[in-house]
Amino acid sequence: MREWIERDKSAIWHPFTPLMGMVDPLMIERAEGVNLYTADGKKIIDAISSWWVNIHGHSHPKIANAIAEQAHQLEHVIFAGFTHQPAVELAERLLSILPDNQSKIFYSDNGSTAVEVGIKMAFQYFYNQGIKKKKIIAIDGAYHGDTFGAMSVGERGPFTEPFDPYLFDVAFVDFPSKEKEEAVWNQFEALVSAGDVAAFVFEPIVQGASGMRVYSKALLNRMIALAQANDVICIADEVMTGFGRLGTLFAADQLQNKPDIFCLSKGLTGGVLPMGVTSCTDKIQAAYRSNDLMKTFFHGHSFTGNPMICAAANASLDILLTEECEENRKRINRRHLAFGEQIEKHHLVRNSRVMGTIIAFEINTDKDTSYFNEARHHLYPYFIEKGLLIRPLGNVIYLIPPYIISDEDLDYIYQTILSFLDEYDSLAAVSAD
């Protein structure tokens, strides 16, 4: 196994991983349900759905079989001028579960490209009508992906700094935390009434990468209403929130006002194969329905609409739409709520919040910042040591498990978090002496 790690280190550049001082990656040999198994036989419970994508558990036989069958029949075909049953079925099924105002599906490769397509669709919607609108509004702290358009509409920070000169201008409103709701509304109103706003991009209800931050549905509803009244295209990035993550199939199911464009990925294929989807309303397509060839949406990827990936997504939808899956999401939500109440009382914990199948809380860093910065470095290895994959965002610990996770596994995870807090508590007491 050592040899494989060395070969990895000499050949592979891993995502979000420094080349120097890199911790040895874990070799995973197989995975089943919520469990990952390392090459040396250790079991690790995947409490974060492998980067928030896996909703039905690993190596799901139904999805695996669907991919295998499709691979033997039609593995890939160019998607311009050609089509196939799995793609048509998937598009129809997605439209049947998305809000009623959605009427067309555009396929791409991942979450970032789903957002790129959404932004390009919105810009060209105006271009095709000869309307000059240039501005785009986003929310502070947003994460929409790592390609240039997606980076442009996301939070600017250390990760984007080398590229900042190349990112297009975006008007950011503050993150609408409780105290800031009215201020954010005023910022938004001022921007929209200035007139040349083409689009408003947002992660509905929960911002994922900025630390599972929740904001007001009522405010988002008002923002969408104002935007739409001013012909500003509302782009909902449901890459993380889609496919049941917040309980409902989509976050927008919890909003009265429905966005114009949806960006989907992560859970779309059950987290098994990469795929992006951008859906839009009839109003948006109408600007492209023209005999003028120049009004075509000239965008596509080599693997757009790949049949095996569509088959995986169809199989994942079969599972997602069962009563059992809905029950599981409700069960996780109930368990999270109870744990949230329990953990909130711990003096090292603040702002615990539950959104559907996600629970997040902050380790209280007020007491001794340097110590708890240190603690963050210990946190990930501590949980791995206990057979748990948890990957904190700064001082935010969160769980975003596959929906099939058992009560026993949830209990073990909750218990391990409590032990972690208690151990750090006693360590902190020692270091204060």
Ligand X SMILES: *Cc1c(COP(=O)(O)O)cnc(C)c1O
What are the residues facing 72 on neighbouring strands? Answer: none
The burial class, CB within 10 Å (0-12 / 13-18 / 19+), for 17 is: exposed
**237 binds ligand X, rule: CB under 6 A:** yes
In this complex, which beta carbon is closest to ligand X, that of residue 240 or of residue 284? Answer: 240
In the chain, how many H helices and how many E strands?
Answer: 13, 16
**267 binds ligand X, rule: CB under 6 A:** no
CB of 203 to ligand X, least distance (A): 5
Please indicate if the annotation marks 178 as binding a ligand. Answer: no
Residues across the chain: 433
Please indicate if the annotation marks 111 as binding a ligand. Answer: yes
Backbone angles phi, psi at 428, to 5 degrees: -65, -40
**265 binds ligand X, rule: CB under 6 A:** yes
Please indicate if the annotation marks 13 as binding a ligand. Answer: no
In this complex, which beta carbon is closest to ligand X, that of residue 152 or of residue 265? Answer: 265
**264 binds ligand X, rule: CB under 6 A:** no
Please indicate if the annotation marks 112 as binding a ligand. Answer: yes
In this complex, which beta carbon is closest to ligand X, that of residue 203 or of residue 409? Answer: 203
- Distance (Å, whole) CA 121 – CA 180: 31
The burial class, CB within 10 Å (0-12 / 13-18 / 19+), for 169 is: exposed
CB of 50 to ligand X, least distance (A): 12
**245 binds ligand X, rule: CB under 6 A:** no
In this complex, which beta carbon is closest to ligand X, that of residue 49 or of residue 124? Answer: 49
**392 binds ligand X, rule: CB under 6 A:** no
Per DSSP, the residues of 39-89 read: TTS-EEEETTHHHHT-SS-BT-HHHHHHHHHHHHH-----SSS---HHHHH
Running DSSP on this structure, what letter comes out for residue 237? E
64 contacts: CB under 8 Å, gap ≥ 6: 272
- Distance (Å, whole) CA 70 – CA 76: 9
Q: Which of 133, 144, 245, 329 is in the footprint of ligand X by CB under 6 A? A: 144
Q: Which of 57, 86, 111, 204 is in the footprint of ligand X by CB under 6 A? A: 111
Instruction: Name the token pair of 80.
Output: 């311009």
Please indicate if the annotation marks 149 as binding a ligand. Answer: no
Name the 3-class secondary structure at 122. Answer: helix
**246 binds ligand X, rule: CB under 6 A:** no
Instruction: Name the token pair of 232.
Output: 């500003």
Please indicate if the annotation marks 391 as binding a ligand. Answer: yes
Q: Which of 49, 54, 70, 110 is in the footprint of ligand X by CB under 6 A? A: 110
**151 binds ligand X, rule: CB under 6 A:** no
- Distance (Å, whole) CA 125 – CA 208: 28
In this complex, which beta carbon is closest to ligand X, that of residue 217 or of residue 378? Answer: 217
Nearest to 214 by CA among 235, 239, 192, 241: 241
Nearest to 413 by CA among 339, 355, 362, 354: 339
CB of 23 to ligand X, least distance (A): 21
In this complex, which beta carbon is closest to ligand X, that of residue 112 or of residue 152? Answer: 112
Contact, 38 vs 29, CB < 8 A? yes
Neighbours of 339 (CB within 10 A): 22
CB of 12 to ligand X, least distance (A): 18
**203 binds ligand X, rule: CB under 6 A:** yes
> How many residues sit close enough to ligand X to count as binding (CB under 6 A)?
14
Nearest to 123 by CA among 261, 310, 256, 321: 261
Per DSSP, the residues of 373-387 read: HHHHHHHHHHHHHTT
**240 binds ligand X, rule: CB under 6 A:** yes
Question: Closest CB to ligand X belongs to which residue?
Answer: 111
In this complex, which beta carbon is closest to ligand X, that of residue 110 or of residue 314? Answer: 110
Contact, 260 vs 283, CB < 8 A? yes
CB of 109 to ligand X, least distance (A): 8
87 contacts: CB under 8 Å, gap ≥ 6: 79, 107, 305, 307, 310
Q: Which of 57, 176, 208, 402 is in the footprint of ligand X by CB under 6 A? A: 208
**145 binds ligand X, rule: CB under 6 A:** yes
Q: Which of 106, 125, 143, 250 is in the footprint of ligand X by CB under 6 A? A: 143
CB of 250 to ligand X, least distance (A): 13
Report the interface residues with ligand X, using CB under 6 A.
110-112, 115, 143-145, 203, 208-209, 237, 239-240, 265
* Residue list for the binding site: 51, 111-112, 143, 237, 266, 300-302, 391
* Residue list for the binding site for substrate: 51, 143, 266, 300, 391
* Residue list for the binding site for pyridoxal 5'-phosphate: 111-112, 237, 301-302
